[in-house]
């Protein structure tokens, strides 16, 4: 394995001291060196295909140009676009991304963060936040720069990039109301997450604002944002015997679970029951029926999260921003006017 050239090699060829080379190679200190010499050193460096070893310099400077990204489950389709856009943004700034899939386990999450910290990451992007999240607390205590994405915590004021859930719920609810639905059920998510919690409360508030009476027994927060949780919850609702013509869900996977439950009972969507999702994950436009849902700008989420983190790495005292990006209602085939008067 041909060994890479280092600063000493360049120094030898240029007939100068390694520290001089270091100064040339570092834009911030380049001006300390005579123009002519700098040019010569750069020429040699280029000729040798020199690349600074960020680990070695990081050892000295405590700056590794490395950022950790932790997500709960890469196979959940909302995360790939976030990770990709964050990674590319970081890459553009000369950083690399260490990716870890925590599998939603807090223990492994702690482990992961410890490991990353040991590697002197400059900051962390967390897509795993719970409303009360000891792991986030720890990061803050230890002063390691973090940005939360997709979800946030309830206690501290932490840099975060999230969707505007109030707006999303408002758009979905208005849509159903405008179609003529009067008996609307809601399937939400775990109240331990900011999205589950926020969307549920947004629903209550918006219903009130619209003067819409919701039946409390038709408002269920599922234990997980998953297809099975969605199916089971809708089954429960259907078994209750209560009448409703539409289900507003807090997540596309829940909505897909509703599809399953309906199909299993020989009901059809949207003829018997309208369904709305939340996220607009890839390919829901191709499903049967195409899902009416809220489009979240996942790419922008990732880009913004990366930018926020970079800003805080470069200036730890940068103001703590919490960005809420606006979702957009995408009307497709899973919602329609309720059939006949009930």
- Judged by the rule CB under 8 A, the positions of this chain that interact with a copy of itself are 1-2, 4, 51-56, 58-59, 64, 69, 73-75, 77, 79-81, 83-84, 87-88, 91, 96-101, 103, 112, 114-120, 142-144, 256, 259, 282-283, 286-290
For 305, the 3-state DSSP assignment is helix
CB atoms inside a 10 Å sphere around CB 263: 13
Residue 71 or 207 with smaller CB distance to a copy of itself = 71
Point out which residues pair with 248 in neighbouring strands: 186, 276
* Binding residue for DNA, selected from 39, 56, 210, 331, defined by CB under 7 A: 56
**Binding region for DNA (CB under 7 A) out of 7-15, 81-89, 168-176, 331-339:** 7-15
How many Cα atoms sit within 13 Å of 292 on the Cβ side? 26
Tokens of 125: 């992007």
Task: State the minimum distance, in angstroms, from the CB of residue 155 to a copy of itself.
Answer: 20
Binding mask 36-55 for DNA (x = CB under 7 A): -xx-----------x-xx--
Residue 54 or 223 with smaller CB distance to a copy of itself = 54
Q: Which of 303, 301, 323, 314 is nearest to 87 (CA)?
A: 303
Point out which residues pair with 70 in neighbouring strands: 100, 126
Q: How far apart are the first and last CA of the chain?
A: 76
Q: Considering CB distances under 5 to 8 angstroms, the limit depending on partner class, which of DNA, a copy of itself, none binds residue 116? A: a copy of itself
Task: State the minimum distance, in angstroms, from the CB of residue 257 to a copy of itself.
Answer: 11
For residue 215, the 8-state DSSP code is P
Count of residues that interact with DNA, criterion CB under 7 A: 28
Reading phi first (left if > 0) and then psi (alpha if -120 to 50, else beta), residue 267 is in beta
Q: Considering CB distances under 5 to 8 angstroms, the limit depending on partner class, which of DNA, a copy of itself, none binds residue 16? A: DNA
Tokens of 178: 């405008």
* Binding residue for DNA, selected from 46, 61, 180, 213, defined by CB under 7 A: 61
Residue 144 or 176 with smaller CB distance to a copy of itself = 144
Determine the Cα–Cα distance for residues 65 and 240; give it in Å rounded to an integer: 55
**Dihedral pair phi/psi, residue 341, rounded to 5°:** -75, 135
Footprint of DNA (CB under 7 A): 3, 6-8, 15-20, 22-23, 25-26, 29, 32-34, 37-38, 50, 52-53, 56-57, 59-61
């Amino acid at each position: 394995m041909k060994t890479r050239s280092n600063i000493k090699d360049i120094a030898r060829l240029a007939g100068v001291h390694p520290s001089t080379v270091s100064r040339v190679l570092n834009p911030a200190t380049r001006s300390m060196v005579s123009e002519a010499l700098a040019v010569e050193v750069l020429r040699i460096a280029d000729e040798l295909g020199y690349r600074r070893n960020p680990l070695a310099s990081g050892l000295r400077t405590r700056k590794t140009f490395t950022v950790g990204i932790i997500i709960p489950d890469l196979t959940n389709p909302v995360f790939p676009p976030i990770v990709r856009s964050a990674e590319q943004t970081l890459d553009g700034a000369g950083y690399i991304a260490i990716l870890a899939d925590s599998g939603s386990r807090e223990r492994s999450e702690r482990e992961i963060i410890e490991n990353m910290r040991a590697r002197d990451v400059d900051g962390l992007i967390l897509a795993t936040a719970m409303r009360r999240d000891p792991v986030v607390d720890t990061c803050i205590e230890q002063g390691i720069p973090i940005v939360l994405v997709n979800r946030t915590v309830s206690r501290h004021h932490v840099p975060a990039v999230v969707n505007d859930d109030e707006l999303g719920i408002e758009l979905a609810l208005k849509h159903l109301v405008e179609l003529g639905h009067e008996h609307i059920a809601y399937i939400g998510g775990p109240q331990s997450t900011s999205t589950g919690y926020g969307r549920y409360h947004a629903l209550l508030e918006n219903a009130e604002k619209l003067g819409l009476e919701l039946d409390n027994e038709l408002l269920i927060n599922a234990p997980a944002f998953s297809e099975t949780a969605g199916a089971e919850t809708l089954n429960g609702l259907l078994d209750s015997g209560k009448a409703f013509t539409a289900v507003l869900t807090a997540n596309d996977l829940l909505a897909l679970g509703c599809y399953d439950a309906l199909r299993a009972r020989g009901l059809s969507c949207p003829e018997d029951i309208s369904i709305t999702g939340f996220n607009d994950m890839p390919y829901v436009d191709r499903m049967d029926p195409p899902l009416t849902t809220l489009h979240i700008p996942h790419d922008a989420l990732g880009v913004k999260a990366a930018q926020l983190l970079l800003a805080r790495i470069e200036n730890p005292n940068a103001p703590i921003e919490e960005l809420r990006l606006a979702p957009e209602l995408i009307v497709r085939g899973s919602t329609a006017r309720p059939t006949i008067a009930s």
